Chain A
Amino acid sequence: MSNAQASDAGVISADGVPLKVSLARALRRQKIRALMLIAPLLIFVVISFIAPIADMLFRSVENSIVPDTLPKTVVALQEWDPASNEAPGEAIYAAMHADLVIAAEQKIHTRVGQRLNYEAPGVSSLFRKTGRRVDRMEPGNYKEQFLAIDKDWGNVEIWRTIHRFSGNYTSGYFLSAADAELTPDGIELVPENERIYLTLFVRTLVLSFTITLTCALLGYPIAFLLSNLPMRTSNMLLILVLLPFWTSLLVRTSSWIVLLQQQGVINDLLVSIGILDDQNRLELMYNQIGTIIAMTHILLPFMILPLYSVMKTISPSYVRAAKSLGANDWTAFWKIYFPNSIPGIGAGAILVFILSIGYYITPELVGGTSGIFISNRIAYHISSSLNWGLAAALGVILLALILVFYWLYDKIVGIDNVSLG
C-alpha cells in the first residue's frame, strides 16, 4: 500500500515534502552560495569584458542619430525617389528646416553633420554653416533659402546620403570596413585608390603569423634551456626573460629604433667591420622587418613562459626511456620530447598571435608604411577621426577573425592540446 503511494507521488521525505523538492531546495542553497562566491568576479567580467564587447557590437550598426535628430526630414524623404536625378521638393526642405531649428537650439546639428560627413565629405561644414543661420530664415520658400546658404543643398548626392542613412541601423560601417559602399546599384567596392582595410587585415594576419613563428623558433630553445638548467640558474635566467616586462613598451620600442635605424648601432657596426658599404646601409626598420623584429622581442616572453612551464612538466625520464629503447638524441627529441611540448607551443602561439593582432603602438613607431596593422586604423578612428562606428565594425571583424582562427586551431590541433603547464 505505502509502496504503491510512493511510486505515485515520488518518495516523501521525513517532513512530508516530496524528496525531489527537498533535494532541489538543498542543492539550490548550495548553488546560490557558490554563485555568491564568484559574484564579484562575475560582475567584474560582465562590466569590463562582456558589456564593452556588446557595446562595440551595437555601435558598429547603430545609426539612430540621424532619425533622432532629423525625424521630420527622414519621414518626408520617404516620398522622394533617390534614383531620380532631381533634388527633393519644397516639403522636404521645410521638414529639414523644422528639424534643424530644434537641432541647432540643442547644438546637436553639428553632430549629425559629422556622422554624415563620414559618408559624404562636406556635410559637416554644410550643417555647421546652415545651423548658424537656420533660425533667421523666413517662413516659406525654404528650398531657395537653403540653396542661398550653400548650393550643395541642391546636390542630389547629399540627399541620397541622408536618405540612405536614415534608418536606426546601418550596414554602412561594416561595408566601409570591408572597403565597400552602398550605391544605388547595390554594394560595390570603393575605388581602388581608397581601398585599405582588406589589405591591412591580410597584412595583420600574415605579420602576426610571422611574428608567432619567429617567437616559437626563438623561444623554444630558450625555454628548453631554462627547463633543463638547475633551479637556481633557471630562476635567474627567467628573471632576464621577464626583465623586458619591467621596462615600458615605448622605451623598448625606442631602443629598437636606436639599434635598427640606418644610422643605428647595427648598421654602424656592419659598416665599420666592412660587411656593408656606407652607401648601402640596410633598411631594418620603418618596414615589415622592423615590425617583426620589435614585436618578436616584445612578445617573446609570452611564448617562453607557457613553453617553459609545459617543458618543466615533461619528465626527463621520457627522453631517457626513448634513448634506452634505442633512439638517438634527435629521434628522442623529435618523436618524444617535441610532441609532449606541443601544448606549450599551442598556448604560446595563441597568446602571441592574439596579442600581436591587437598591437598598434610598436607598428606605428617602427613599421613605417608597410609594417602597420589594422589596429593602427582602429586606434586612428577611435582617437583621431572619432568614427567610432567604423572602429567598432573593424573591431568586430577582427574579433570574428580571431574566433575563426580559434575554431580552425581547435579543428586542426585540438584545443585540449593547449596547456599553460
Chain B
Amino acid sequence: MDKDDYIVRFENVQKSYDGETLVVKNFNIDIERGEFLTMLGPSGSGKTTCLMMLAGFEPATNGEIYLNGSPINNVPPHKRGIGMVFQNYALFPHMSVAENLAFPLKVRGMSKSDSEAKVKRALGMVRLDEFGGRRPGQLSGGQQQRVAVARALVFEPDLVLMDEPLGALDKNLREEMQFEIKHIHESLGVSVVYVTHDQSEALTMSNRIAVFNDGVVQQLAAPEVLYEKPENAFVAQFIGENNKLTGKVTAIDGDIAQVTLDGGGDKVAALAVKCGGVGEKSQLSIRPERVILGDEDVPNKMSGKVVELIYLGDHIRCRMEVGDSSEFIVKVANSHAHAALKVGEVTPIGWVTEDCRALDVL
C-alpha cells in the first residue's frame, strides 16, 4: 500500500529525553483515514509521547512521521492543522465558551460572520447551544469536556488527537461521553487518535487499538482480536480479565502445544501462540468465562478447589485453587446447575484447547 492512503504514518520513530534510555523504541504504525485508533497502555509506556510527537510538541529523536503523506518532523504544531483535546481540557479560562471555540477560527483569519456560524454549529453538535456566553469555570466537567471536543473540531481538521480526555470524569459521565465522542467521530468521518490507560474505554470506542508497554507496541489489532487472541502475555493480562497458569512446554504438534503445569504436574493442551520451543517456560492464558465447570466432555480436564464465591447477580465469581495458582477465577452463570457451589468444595473444571493460549512468560 502507498503511504498516501494513510493519514498518519510513523516510521521507525524513536524518542529519548535523556540520551540514555528510549521512551519510545522503534514505533511503526499506519493510521487509516477515518479510523478511530487508540493507544492503550499503562502510564509511562510511551503512548502519550507518541501523541505529543504527532501533535508537534515533542520532536522525534529518530525516524520520521508523515501526515497526509508528507513528513512533518520540521513542521511547527500550529501549522499541522491537527485538532487536539487535552487531558484537563485546557479551555482558556479568560475567554467565554464561544470565544474559546472562535479562537482557532480567528487565528486563521476567518470573517466574523463565518466564524459565528461555525461556533454556533459546533455548540449545537455538543448540545451546548445556550452556553456560549459562559466562562469555562462556570461549566460542569462534562460540559467542559464537550466544549473541548467542539473546539478541537470547529476548524474542521482531518485528524483529532485526544489525550486521556475522559480521565477527570466520573464513571457515568465517562460512559456517556464515550458514546458521544464515538457518535461525533462516526458522523463527521474525522480520524481520531485517542490515548487512554482505560482498557474498557479503548474496547468500546476504537476501530483499532495499539497496546503499548515499555516503549514498544505489543499488539495492534481490532478490540475483539485483542481480547480473543492476545499475542503475548502482556496483552492477555492487560486487556480484560485473565487466568494465568505457568508450566513447561513438553511437546509441540502443529498449533498445539503440550504444557505440564507447575505445582501438580497436570498436562494441558493449548494453542501454541508464543511459547517458544520444547522445554521452555510458558504462561497459559484462559479467560474466566471460557472455563467450564463440572464434568463436561472437553480435552482439558482438571480439578479446582473453591476458595471464595462472590455473588454478582447475573453471575457468580468463583475464585479457585488450580495448579499453583490460587487466583484462578471462573465466571459461573447464575443458573440452576451451579447454584449449589460451596466454599471448600473440590470440583472438576475444563476448557477447550482453542480457548487456552500458550504465551511467553512475563
Cα A324 to Cα B81 in complex, Å, equals 7
In the complex, what's the smallest C-beta–C-beta distance from B86 to chain A, in angstroms?
Answer: 5
Residues from 134 to 177 in B contacting A, C-beta threshold 8 Å:
151-152, 155, 161
In the bound complex, do residue B86 and residue A325 qualify as a contact, i.e. CB atoms below 8 Å apart? Answer: no
* In the assembled complex, B336 has its CB within 8 A of some CB on chain A: no
CB distance from B114 to the nearest CB of A (A): 15
Q: A320-B57, A331-B107 are in contact. Are A325 and B88 (CB under 8 A)?
A: no
Provide the bound-state CA to CA distance between A320 and B76, in Å.
Answer: 11
Within 8 A of A (CB), among B63-94: 76-78, 80-84, 86-88, 90-94
Residues of B within 8 A of A331 (CB): 107
Q: A323-B77, A324-B84, A327-B78 are in contact. Are A318 and B107 (CB under 8 A)?
A: no
**Residues A305-336 near B (CB distance < 8 A):** 315, 317-318, 320-329, 331-332, 335-336
Closest to A317 in B: B90
Q: How close is B58's CB to chain A, nearest CB, in angstroms?
A: 11
- B101 — nearest CB in chain A belongs to which residue? A325
Q: A16 near B: Cβ within 8 Å? A: no
B88 touches A317 (CB 8 A): yes
What is the CB-to-nearest-CB distance from A340 to chain B, in angstroms, rounded to a whole number?
6
Bound state CA distance, A320 and B48, in angstroms?
14
Cα A327 to Cα B155 in complex, Å, equals 12
Q: A326-B108, A328-B78 are in contact. Are A318 and B92 (CB under 8 A)?
A: yes
Contacts of A317 in B (CB 8 A): 86-88, 90
Docked pose: A325 CA to B90 CA in angstroms: 11
A323-B78 CB under 8 A given contacts A339-B94, A340-B93, A340-B94: yes
Q: B103 interface residue, CB < 8 Å from A? A: yes
Q: Which residues of A contact B76 (CB under 8 A)?
A: 323, 328-329
Interface residues on B, range: 20 to 34
Best-buried of B55, B90, B151 by chain A (most CB within 10 Å): B90
A318 to B95, CA, bound (A): 12
> Residues of B contacting A328 with CB < 8 Å?
76, 78, 107
Taking the nearest CB of chain B, how far is it from the CB of A325, in angstroms? 4
Q: For this complex, into which size category does the number of interface residues on chain A fall? A: 10 to 19
B94 touches A325 (CB 8 A): no
Residues in B neighbouring A324, C-beta threshold 8 A: 55-56, 77-78, 80, 82-84, 152, 161
Distance of A27 Cα from B81 Cα, bound (Å) = 60
Contact flag A325-B103 (CB < 8 Å), given A317-B88, A317-B90, A320-B86:
yes
Select from chain B the residue with minimum beta-carbon distance to A328. B78
Contacts of B55 in A (CB 8 A): 320, 324
- For residue B104, CB closer than 8 A to chain A, the reply is yes
Q: A315-B88, A320-B86, A331-B107 are in contact. Are A326 and B81 (CB under 8 A)?
A: yes
Name A333-356 residues within 8 Å CB distance of B: 335-336, 339-340
How many angstroms between the C-alpha atoms of A318 and B91 in the bound complex?
Answer: 7
Closest to A339 in B: B94
Which among B81, B86, B94 is the interface contact of A321 at CB below 8 angstroms?
B86
B321 CB, min distance to chain A CBs, angstroms: 48
Report whether B155 and A325 are in contact in the complex, using a CB–CB cutoff of 8 Å: yes
What residue in chain B is nearest A343 (Cβ atoms)?
B94
Rounded to whole angstroms, the CA-CA distance of A418 and B78 in the bound complex is 31
Interchain CB contact under 8 A, A322 and B103: yes
A contact residues around B56 at 8 Å (CB) = 323-324
Residues in B whose Cβ lies below 8 Å from that of A329: 76, 78
Q: How far is the CA of A324 from the CA of B56 in the complex (A)?
A: 8
Instruction: Collect the chain A residues with CB atoms within 8 Å of residue B152's CB.
Output: 324-325
CA of A323 to CA of B84 in the docked complex: distance in angstroms?
10
CB distance from B75 to the nearest CB of A (A): 12
Cross-chain contact A326 with B107 (CB below 8 angstroms): yes
Q: Report chain A residues within 8 Å CB of B84.
A: 320-321, 324-325
Least CB distance from A33 to B in Å reads 34
Please indicate the chain B residues that have their CB under 8 angstroms from the CB of A318 in the complex. 90, 92
Q: How far is the CB of A364 from chain B (nearest CB, A)?
A: 42
Bound-state Cα–Cα, A327 to B81, Å: 10
Q: Which residues from A are CB-within-8-Å of B94?
A: 339-340
User: Which residues, 303 to 345 on B, are CB-close (under 8 Å) to A?
Assistant: none
Neighbouring B residues of A339 by C-beta, 8 Å = 94
The smallest C-beta distance from A366 to any residue of chain B, in angstroms, reads 40
Residues of the A chain whose Cβ atoms lie less than 8 Å from the Cβ of B161: 324
The reply to whether A325 and B93 contact each other, CB–CB distance below 8 Å, is no
A399 to B83: give the CA distance in the assembly, Å: 52
A325 and B107 contacting across the interface, CB-CB below 8 Å: yes
Q: CB-nearest residue of chain A relative to B151?
A: A325
CA distance A335 to B99 in the complex (A): 11
Given A327-B78, A327-B103, A331-B107, answer yes or no on A321-B90 (Cβ-Cβ < 8 Å).
Answer: yes
- A313 → B minimal CB distance (Å): 10
Looking at A317, A322, A326, A329, the one whose CB has the most chain B CB atoms below 10 A away is A326
Alpha-carbon distance between A331 and B151 when the two chains are bound, in angstroms? 17
In the complex the two chains form, what is the Cα distance from A320 to B161 in whole Å? 13
Q: Which residues of B contact A321 (CB under 8 A)?
A: 84, 86, 90-92, 151
Residue of B nearest to A327 (CB): B107
Q: Which residue of B lies closest to A336 (CB)?
A: B92
| Cβ contacts under 8 Å, B103 to chain A | 322, 325, 327, 335
| Bound Cα distance from A142 to B86, whole angstroms | 94
Closest residue to A337 on the B side, CB-wise? B92
Taking A324-B55, A325-B103 as given, write out 8 further A-B residue pairs in contact, using a Cβ cutoff of 8 Å, ordered by the A residue number.
Answer: A315-B88, A315-B90, A320-B86, A323-B76, A324-B161, A325-B78, A325-B84, A326-B108
13 A-B residue pairings within 8 Å (CB atoms):
A317-B87, A317-B88, A317-B90, A318-B90, A321-B91, A322-B92, A324-B55, A324-B56, A325-B83, A325-B103, A325-B155, A328-B76, A332-B78
Q: Which 8 A-B pairs have the closest CB atoms?
A: A325-B104, A321-B90, A317-B90, A324-B84, A323-B77, A339-B94, A317-B86, A323-B78
The interface of chain B, by Cβ under 8 A from chain A, is 55-57, 76-78, 80-84, 86-88, 90-94, 103-104, 107-108, 151-152, 155, 161
